Amino acid sequence: MKKKLIVIGGGFAGIELVKKLDKNLFDILLIDKINHHQFQPLFYQVATSQLEPASISFPLRHIFRGQKNVQIRLAEVLEIDTVNQSIATSIGPFTFDYLVIATGCKTNFFGNAELSKHAFTLKTTYDVIAIRNHIIQTFETVLSAREEEKESLLNLAIVGAGPTGVELAGAFAEIKKHILPNDYPGIDFSKFNILLVEGSKDTLVNMSETARKASKKYLQTMGVTLLTETFVKNYDGLTLELNTGKTIQTKTVIWAAGVTGNAIKGLPAESQTGGNRLLVDRTNKVTGCNTVFAIGDIANMPTPNYPKGHPQVANVAINQAKLLAQNLKNTLQQKPTTPFEYKDLGSMATVGRNKAVVDLPFISFKGYFAWLVWMFLHLMLILSVRNKLIIFINWAWAYITKNTSLRLILKPDNSSNQN
């Protein structure tokens, strides 16, 4: 008889696990709050109107079409009962033989409620569409704004200079130079300021010295203002307060400065670690549980090579999922399990056209070739051949023309209907 296995979360880890689990051994229930997998590494390109949301969003039911052992439910998981092996959800309870938590992370505002109320985030497709709408609407507003209002409209602040912040800043710098002046000839774009705020002294602080120096130089050359060794104290929707005493008038703050786990109630206290992550052993079993596992960004697995846990990147999530699928099969067949060991294949970030940095275990490099490597590897991660082709065509067209035609404001019309 097949075992009932529930997977919470349709991110990189959850999708890979469901794909790899033996269909003859498991009946799988995949639960997520949204109906699609989101390719987060390219969110910044949607936010800056370089890609359509549909290019990097994959309906879960389409991914698993034809897999009769996979059921999908759209719901929020409210609590886990490890004793009775059940979960409470917004659509009712479900029981399990095995439970795998792959809920990933959400934006961390470090307890600042005011910031969370007014800053934009990049954690979901809805978030990046909201940013795209806001940015385009902002320039429409500038055209008719009073002079004293324009400063706050033409200042764009990005907080956090990790890969997301760097890539976003670079993308905005490129559309400022090549695209927006043609769309809005009535705006003086020399007054459009892109500011990147970072608490450490460097951009891409977790990458090599080559990557840090190159990304900083690229951004400065592209006109991005870097505010390093600077922290945000508060933001009320108009005034961004920094720990240096400086204030910036802006109606656009994008927060890319940290994440915290999407925790679920009901798990043992000893499994809770910093950043709302779940402490797991080398087989991804949650501490204090026998049949509950956690994989991907939500999992904290200390090892000799990674005493503070693994980096929260897609490659870790995918490899943990692959191994867990095999280990669960081995468990049912009474075979030994294999401990997880992560081999770091490197990291990369793109700053703009022909500008990227790549760290491999044996070499670090930058520039045009790094940009080609970045594009190729991201295309390979995209789920479908059709979407790979669409994105490649979009990138090729944008490269040749230095333009896209995706600058649409897509939001409800709140005006009254008129016949």
Whether 408 has a pLDDT exceeding 80, the answer reads no
Q: How many independent structural domains does the chain possess?
A: 2
Domain limits for position 58:
3-107+259-332
Q: Is residue 409 part of a domain?
A: no
φ, ψ for residue 381, nearest 5 deg: -80, -20
Q: Are residues 95 and 208 located together in one domain of the fold?
A: no
Q: What is the pTM of this model?
A: 0.92
Please measure the distance between the N-terminal and C-terminal CA atoms of the chain and give it in whole angstroms.
Answer: 60
Mark whether 187 and 296 lie in a shared domain. Answer: no
Residue 355 lies in a domain: no
List Cβ neighbours of 329 (8 Å cut-off, separation of 6 or more). Answer: 21, 22, 25
pLDDT in tens, 284-323: 999 999 999 999 999 999 999 999 999 999 999 999 999 9
Q: What is the CATH number of the domain that holds 24?
A: 3.50.50.60
As a residue count, the chain comes to: 419
For 355-375, what is the mean pLDDT? 95
Q: What is the pLDDT of residue 385?
A: 83
Q: Select the more confidently predicted residue: 164 or 383.
A: 164
Determine how many CB atoms are found less than 10 A away from the CB of residue 174: 20
Residue 418: the pLDDT is 44
| Per-residue pLDDT tens digits for 107-130 | 999 888 899 999 999 999 999 999
Band (pLDDT 50/70/90 cuts) for residue 406 is: low
Q: What angle do CA 389, 393, 395 make, to 5 degrees?
A: 115
Q: Which of 238, 257, 276 finishes a domain? A: 257
CB 242 within 8 A of CB 195: no
**Could you say which of 282, 314, 332 is where a domain stops?**
332
> Of the candidates 315, 312, 279, which has an alpha carbon nearest to the alpha carbon of residue 294?
279
Residue range 232-263, pLDDT digits in tens: 999 999 999 999 999 999 999 999 998 999 98
Q: How far is CA 286 from CA 2, 289, 292, 309, in A?
A: 22, 6, 6, 14
Closest among 411, 407, 352, 397 to 183, alpha carbons compared = 407
State whether 78 and 124 are in the same domain: no
Give the end of a domain, one of 235, 257, 279. 257
pLDDT in the model for residue 349? 96
Token pair for residue 142? 């500038």
Q: What is the pLDDT of residue 419?
A: 44
- Same domain? For 94 and 122 the reply is no
